[in-house]
């Protein structure tokens, strides 16, 4: 016979919950709340001690920071003199020393614009945004390249270092966003030819690696223009990067467009608004706001991939450091060089990703458990 479904005896009382507070209570709750967790915690602490301390010792405690030649490195740790001795060229590349104030102005202007756009409290976002997309590139172009208004011309051959990295990233961002929006709209168009052109364009660029795009830009683009036209190397790379990332941007924007209900568009139609009015005044402002995190993530990916221009022979931040490593006076500092490059890129990307998370939290009004 089967046993009764009901218990006839009381279950034993559970232990009262741990009431300890403070450090020991926290440790018990978070690190040592079971045999397995205790083992894991000890292992992690061991791992950290094994990696972190030697690294800090190498990077900070035993390291040398200032000097001008490798003889200034007397400690057993990292030789940051390698970086500090060529700091100027890491920032400006081969930009003539007398003209570097122009780069500084562009840097400062860019920092101010980005800060204005990033801080939610500041007003007139639309105006500043428009200026960043249109006015700023023109000003930066005239300042950096020169050749007008009495400024001596600095050919793009001389551009390099962090300045070139930021130039490539900015042009990529400023160019790919509007192009991506148009492609996304085209992909959702009801006109079959427009739609298929956009789909083919987007899927093509998304299907190939950026490296082949850069190769194409450097070996194939010169074939596309009349033989006597000089085609700037940097410009070729920029065109490739812009097309490539506009496809990714288009997919991000499309995600936002799909999230906007059909009723919004229909309401616009009922009011008698035309296509561009509906898109510009109703759909896009909502859709773009929704996908700001996705757009920032694409910016991060774009920024990281600017380092690829070194493969076609442009001297960005990474390439300048790499060039320094082949200097016969400074052989054997590749760890310092690459760690520094990694740190610079990391600072930029990490701040952007933090910002995107912050925006996501701000826009997220859903119920949280």
Alpha carbon 362 to its chain centroid, in Å, reads: 20
| Minimum CB distance to other proteins, residue 297 (Å) | 10
Among positions 28-67, residues that touch other proteins (CB under 8 A) are 30-31, 33, 37, 40-41, 44-45, 47-48
Q: What is the dihedral of CA 244, 245, 249, 250, to 10 degrees?
A: -10
Nearer to other proteins, 80 or 136 (CB): 80
Q: Tell me the site size for other proteins, rule CB under 8 A.
A: 57
Residues in the chain: 369
CA dist 133 and 170 (Å) reads 10
List the one residue from 4, 191, 261, 272 that touches other proteins (CB under 8 A).
191
| Minimum CB distance to other proteins, residue 103 (Å) | 22
Q: Name 41's bridge partners.
A: none
List the one residue from 105, 145, 182, 216 that touches other proteins (CB under 8 A).
216
H-only helix segments in 271-312: 275-277, 284-290, 292-305
What does the per-residue mask of binding to other proteins show for 290-329, with x meaning CB under 8 A? Answer: ----------x---xx-xx-xx------x---x--x----
Nearer to other proteins, 28 or 289 (CB): 28
Among positions 230-269, residues that touch other proteins (CB under 8 A) are none
Among positions 102-161, residues that touch other proteins (CB under 8 A) are none
Count, in order, helices (H) and strands (E) of the chain. 18, 0
The burial of 282, by beta-carbon neighbours within 10 Å (0-12 exposed, 13-18 middle, 19 or more buried), is given as middle
Among positions 333-352, residues that touch other proteins (CB under 8 A) are 334-335, 338-339, 341-342, 345-346, 349-350
HSE of 119, CA atoms in CB hemisphere, 13 A: 8
- Nearest CA to 211 out of 232, 182, 234, 237 is that of 237
Stretch that binds other proteins, among 100-108, 129-137, 184-192, 287-295 (CB under 8 A): 184-192
Write a three-state SS string for 120-144.
CCCCCHHHHHHHHHHHHHHHHHHHH
277 makes contact with other proteins (CB under 8 A): no
* Cβ proximity of 32 and 41 under 8 Å: yes
Stretch that binds other proteins, among 83-91, 97-105, 155-163, 222-230 (CB under 8 A): 222-230
Element (H, E) at 189: none
| Minimum CB distance to other proteins, residue 41 (Å) | 5
3-state helix, strand, coil in the chain (%, to 5): 75, 0, 25
Stretch that binds other proteins, among 119-127, 136-144, 205-213, 230-238 (CB under 8 A): 205-213
- In the complex, the residues that contact other proteins under the rule CB under 8 A are 30-31, 33, 37, 40-41, 44-45, 47-48, 190-194, 197, 203-204, 206-212, 215-216, 219-220, 222-227, 300, 304-305, 307-308, 310-311, 318, 322, 325, 334-335, 338-339, 341-342, 345-346, 349-350, 353, 369
């Amino acid at each position: 016979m089967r046993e009764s479904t009901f218990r006839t005896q009381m279950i034993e009382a559970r232990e009262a919950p741990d009431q300890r507070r403070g450090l020991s209570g926290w440790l018990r709750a978070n690190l040592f709340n079971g045999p397995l967790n205790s083992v894991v915690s000890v292992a992690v602490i061991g791992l950290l001690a094994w990696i972190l301390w030697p690294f800090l010792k190498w990077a900070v405690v035993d390291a040398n920071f200032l000097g001008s030649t490798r003889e200034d490195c007397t400690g057993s740790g990292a030789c940051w003199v390698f970086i500090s001795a060529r700091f100027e060229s890491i920032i400006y590349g081969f930009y003539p020393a007398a003209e570097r104030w122009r780069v500084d102005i562009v840097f400062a202007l860019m920092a101010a614009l980005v800060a204005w756009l990033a801080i939610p409290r500041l007003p007139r976002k639309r105006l500043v945004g428009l200026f960043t997309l249109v006015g700023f590139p023109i000003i930066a172009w005239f300042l950096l390249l020169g050749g007008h208004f009495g400024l001596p011309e600095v050919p793009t051959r001389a551009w390099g270092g962090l300045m070139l990295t930021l130039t490539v990233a900015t042009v990529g961002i400023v160019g790919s966003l509007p192009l991506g929006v148009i492609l996304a709209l085209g992909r959702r168009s009801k006109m079959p030819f427009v739609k298929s052109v956009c789909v083919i364009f987007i899927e093509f660029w998304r299907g190939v690696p950026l490296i082949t795009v850069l190769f194409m830009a450097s070996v194939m683009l010169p074939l596309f223009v009349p033989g006597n036209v000089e085609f700037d190397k940097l410009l070729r790379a920029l065109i490739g990067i812009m097309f490539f990332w506009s496809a990714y941007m288009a997919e991000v924007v499309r995600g936002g467009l799909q999230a906007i209900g059909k009723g919004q568009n229909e309401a616009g139609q009922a009011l008698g608004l035309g296509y561009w009015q509906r898109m510009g005044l109703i759909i896009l402002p909502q859709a773009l706001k929704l996908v700001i995190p996705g757009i920032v993530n694409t910016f991060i990916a774009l920024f990281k991939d600017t380092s690829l221009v070194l493969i076609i022979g442009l001297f960005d931040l990474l390439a300048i450091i790499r060039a320094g490593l082949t200097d016969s006076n400074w052989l054997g500092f590749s760890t310092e060089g690459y760690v520094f490059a990694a740190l610079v890129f990391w600072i930029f990307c990490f701040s952007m990703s933090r910002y995107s998370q912050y925006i996501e939290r701000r826009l997220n009004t859903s119920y949280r458990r």
